[in-house]
Amino acid sequence: MSACKGLMGDQVTSEFLQCQIEVGTRPCRSIADLREDLSRLRRSVAAVARDHNLRLMAASTHPFARGGEQEHTRKERYDVLADELQEVVRRLMICGMHIHVGIDNDDLRIDLMGQVSYVLPHFLALSTSSPFWEGRDTGLMSYRISVWDEMPRTGLPEHFDSYQEYLRHIEILTRVGIIENASMLWWDVRPSCRFPTLEMRIADVCTRLEDALSVASLYLCWLRMLYRLRRSNQRWRRYASFLINENRWRAHRYGIDKGLLDFGRGEVVPYGELLEEILDLVAEDALFFDCAQELDHLRDIVRDGTSAHRQLATYQQAIASGLTPEVACSRVVDKLVAESVEGL
């Protein structure tokens, strides 16, 4: 960690478990800036890891490591979490990808948070990278969500009519000492309490840099599309959380493989069709942010699969060739290590 901080300063930090490392880009003015900064961070961490006979692996679960056997980082915040959450937090050997979009108006952040829930399952479906847990094929494309949902204050965000209403609810929990501040709300999307951003948190860690950039681009464009609607005195229709949660489960279980529920049509639609509808809606925004190439790559993800698909294919090929499940999982880790620095 000292070596990483020497290279990257406060852009790198520890996480709850000592085997985890968190990187955060600088505020970026474009997707090109994001590409450059995230690529540099991955290269730097990978180089330091190699110097210490370790390897960087970008994924939301480790295929065979056991969460309860890992040491948590000794910080006061983490010590408090370990004491409060017990076995729940000891299983927390998962990593997520958080995407911040700067919105400098408090009420606008709350308004867009209430509208963006509809599309959150799509970001999960496009990013799945956690099909294994403790050496087993879980049958889920994002087992990370199963582990994460054991935590309190997770899942879809609540609906608030204003930023002040949001603050009043937070104040109830902070006043009685249940939470220290709003950073302990771990919803799928939330207003950041550190930055003037709306932070999307549902996505798995994308193993390939290109996939991460594409998911980030889509989130950025979707929020701008919602903002355009607002400027025209329109808004995205609000759907019941239990319907959105159904799509959240489908993305959690199947990723992009079995389609999601289209609420307007009242039927399950193949994911590729839904993506084309989404891309049509944000075409203007992709031009504005100069990220049409990154959004076009989402079609490649639908065609070729996510990290979860590639992990499962590697595992199944190894088993078919007569290797044991333990060795097959090691092959998956080798592939993840290679893909994590691919194209940097």
pLDDT digits (tens, 9 = 90+) for 192-211: 989 999 999 999 999 999 99
Start-to-end Cα distance in the chain: 21
Reported confidence tier of residue 343, pLDDT bands at 50, 70, 90: confident
pLDDT in tens, 37-46: 999 999 999 9
Give the pLDDT score at 67: 72
Q: What's residue 56's pLDDT?
A: 96
Which of these, 103, 31, 91, 32, lies nearest to 61 by C-alpha position?
91
CB burial of residue 179 (10 Å; 0-12, 13-18, 19+): middle
Res 85: pLDDT:
74
Most confidently modeled of 72-76, 124-128, 151-155?
Answer: 124-128
Strand partners, 190: 199
* Predicted local confidence at residue 79, as pLDDT: 76
Provide mean pLDDT across the span 83-104. 87
Structure tokens at 138: 């879980």
User: Alpha carbon 143 to chain centroid distance?
Assistant: 13
Residue 344 has pLDDT above 90, yes or no: no
Cα–Cα dist 78/183, whole Å:
13
Q: Which residues contact 288 (CB under 8 A, 6 or more apart)?
A: 224
Q: Report pLDDT digits (tens) over 238-294.
A: 899 999 999 999 999 999 999 999 998 999 999 999 999 999 999 999 999 999 999
Distance CA(263)–CA(282), nearest Å, equals 19
Single pTM value for the model? 0.94
User: ∠ CA(213), CA(216), CA(222), 5° rounding?
Assistant: 140
Rounded to a whole number of angstroms, the CA Rg of the chain reads 20
Q: Which of 59-68, 100-109, 215-224, 301-310 has the lowest mean pLDDT?
A: 59-68
Query: What type of residue sits at position 49?
Result: A
Cα–Cα distance, 140 to 129 (Å, whole number)? 10
Q: Determine the Cα–Cα distance for residues 230 and 111; give it in Å rounded to an integer.
A: 9
The Cα 137–Cα 140 span in angstroms is 8
Burial of 107 (0-12, 13-18, 19+ CB in 10 A): middle
**What's the CA gap between 178 and 184, in Å, rounded?**
9
Residue 19: burial class (beta carbons within 10 Å; 0-12, 13-18, 19+): middle
Chain segment 157-199, per-residue pLDDT in tens: 999 999 999 999 999 999 998 888 888 899 999 999 899 999 9
CA distance 19 to 17: 5
Percent of residues, the chain, with pLDDT higher than 70: 100
Distances (CA, A) of 135 to 207, 211, 331: 19, 25, 12
Quick one: pLDDT band at residue 120, thresholds 50, 70, 90?
very high
pLDDT of res. 322:
97
Structure tokens at 201: 């948190």
- Average pLDDT for 17-22: 88
Q: What is the mean pLDDT of residues 127-141?
A: 97
The C-alpha atoms of residue 126 and residue 271 are separated, in whole angstroms, by 10
DSSP classification of residue 306: -
Q: What is the mean pLDDT of residues 206-227?
A: 98
User: What pLDDT, on a 0 to 100 scale, did the predictor assign at position 150?
Assistant: 87
Q: What is the pLDDT of residue 94?
A: 92
Mean pLDDT of the chain: 94
Q: What pLDDT was estimated at residue 19?
A: 87
pLDDT band at 87 (very low <50, low <70, confident <90, very high): confident
Domain ranges in the chain?
A: 2-340
What's CA 288's distance to the chain center, in Å? 24
Using a pLDDT cut of 90, give the percent of the chain over it.
Answer: 83
**Residue 39 and residue 209: Cα distance in Å, rounded?**
7
Confidence of residue 77 (pLDDT cuts 50, 70, 90): confident
- The mean pLDDT value for 288-301 works out to 98
> Residues for the chain: how many in total?
344
Which of the listed CATH numbers 3.40.50.1240, 3.30.590.20, 3.20.130.10, 3.40.50.1820 matches domain 2-340? 3.30.590.20
pLDDT given at position 306: 98
